[in-house]
Amino acid sequence: MPEGIEVEYYRQGAEASISRVIESLVVDDLYYLKGETTPNKLRKALIGNKVLQARRIGKLLLLDIDGEDTVGLRFGMTGRIIVDNKAAIEYLEFSSDRNDPKWDRFIVNFDDGGSMRIRDPRRLGGVELNPDVSQLGHDLFSITIEELSQVLSGSSRPIKARLMDQSMVAGLGNLLTDEILWRASIDPRRPADSLDEKTTRSLYKHFKKTIEELATLGGSHMGTLQDHRISGGFCPKHGIPLERYKIGGRTTYSCPEHQKR
Ligand SMILES: [Zn+2]
């Protein structure tokens, strides 16, 4: 599914829409409109106006429109952004290989003949006008060590659940979180507030490095642990079987040898 890294690629792709005049919208899928959003409100906010800026907080893409409105785009499990028929990412873990226009849930047509569309087979994403962003935590690209430390010390829940809580850290999903904890040698079930200062520093270092590295390599699925996230998978460091269990409903893999509880 798209995690913060993928949505950052989408944001970069959406920059191609900046300063172009919006001529029309296709918003036939009412289920895809979230909150108070209606086709009429969207048309009023967008048509005849331009996208000024493409921002991102965690997994939420925000398009600021001249006229003071903001369009929020969420991508769920399988959503992608396609600008002028070019996808910001061709490959998406867990999404369909097929590329069917009938999965277009929201289309913005520009007056120059181009378009920006959200293609989402499973339809778990959404479009929301002026979404409330006050509940989102620190963005995964910009979080500081002080902020991470505060997030961890505030709860004795399993550290993985705490890191994936979007109101604490915005943008981490299942793959990134398992990869970071595996690299930092921390058991995902360990209470968040049990880390000492040294371990927190080490976690922060691995956190930043993982995001930076996977963003360069091409996405959340490019981690070292990824190919071993299968039943019977082995720790790439130790060659011993990984443990597999659920935290907060999400399938989790960790190494019983080097990830400390
Ligand atoms: Zn190991």
Instruction: Look at residue 85 in the predicted model and tell me its pLDDT.
Output: 85
- pLDDT band, residue 241 (cuts 50/70/90): very high
Measured in Å, residue 239 CA sits from the centre of ligand 1 at: 7
| Rounded (to 5) percent helix, strand, coil in the chain | 30, 25, 40
Residue 145, sorted as left (phi over 0), alpha (psi -120 to 50) or beta, turns out to be alpha
pLDDT in tens, 210-227: 999 999 999 999 999 999
Measured in Å, residue 90 CA sits from the centre of ligand 1 at: 32
How many secondary structure helices (H) and strands (E) does the chain include? 6, 13
Instruction: Look at residue 75 in the predicted model and tell me its pLDDT.
Output: 96
Judge whether residue 67 has pLDDT over 90: no
Query: At CA 258, angle to CA 256 and CA 261, rounded to 5?
Result: 65
Torsion (CA) 125, 126, 131, 133 in degrees, nearest 10: 0
Q: Which residues pair with 24 in a beta bridge?
A: 109
Measured in Å, residue 252 CA sits from the centre of ligand 1 at: 14
Considering all CA atoms of the chain, what is the largest pairwise distance in Å, rounded to the nearest integer?
60
Measured in Å, residue 47 CA sits from the centre of ligand 1 at: 54
Instruction: Look at residue 211 in the predicted model and tell me its pLDDT.
Output: 98
Instruction: Look at residue 36 in the predicted model and tell me its pLDDT.
Output: 96
Q: Collapse the DSSP code of 27 into the 3-class scheme (helix H, G, I; strand E, B; otherwise coil) and give the result.
A: coil
Measured in Å, residue 214 CA sits from the centre of ligand 1 at: 20
Measured in Å, residue 183 CA sits from the centre of ligand 1 at: 9
C-alpha span between 193 and 213 (Å, rounded): 27
pLDDT in tens, 114-137: 999 999 999 999 999 999 999 999
Average pLDDT taken over every residue of the chain: 94
Measured in Å, residue 59 CA sits from the centre of ligand 1 at: 30
pLDDT in tens, 148-200: 999 999 999 999 999 999 999 999 999 999 999 999 999 999 999 999 999 99
Please report which helix (H) or strand (E) contains residue 183, including its range.
Answer: helix 174-183
Measured in Å, residue 126 CA sits from the centre of ligand 1 at: 38
**What value does the mean pLDDT take over residues 235-251?**
95
Measured in Å, residue 152 CA sits from the centre of ligand 1 at: 23
Measured in Å, residue 242 CA sits from the centre of ligand 1 at: 8
Instruction: Look at residue 21 in the predicted model and tell me its pLDDT.
Output: 97
C-alpha span between 229 and 253 (Å, rounded): 6
Domains of the chain: 4-129 (3.20.190.10), 138-254 (1.10.8.50)
pLDDT in tens, 81-103: 999 988 777 655 555 556 788 89
**What value does the mean pLDDT take over residues 34-53?**
97
182 touches 255 (CB < 8 A): yes
Instruction: Look at residue 92 in the predicted model and tell me its pLDDT.
Output: 59
Instruction: Look at residue 101 in the predicted model and tell me its pLDDT.
Output: 86
DSSP 8-state symbol, 18: B
* CB within 8 Å of 22: residues ≥ 6 apart: 46, 47, 48, 49, 50, 51, 65, 108, 109, 110, 111
Measured in Å, residue 254 CA sits from the centre of ligand 1 at: 8
Measured in Å, residue 163 CA sits from the centre of ligand 1 at: 21
Measured in Å, residue 255 CA sits from the centre of ligand 1 at: 5
Cβ neighbours of 100 (radius 10 Å): 9
Give me the amino acid identity at 207: F
Measured in Å, residue 237 CA sits from the centre of ligand 1 at: 5
Sheet of 80-83, strand order: 22-26, 104-110, 115-119, 80-83, 86-87
The residue ranking higher by pLDDT, 68 or 253, is 253
Please report which helix (H) or strand (E) contains residue 160, including its range.
Answer: helix 159-164
Instruction: Look at residue 185 in the predicted model and tell me its pLDDT.
Output: 98
Q: Collapse the DSSP code of 61 into the 3-class scheme (helix H, G, I; strand E, B; otherwise coil) and give the result.
A: strand
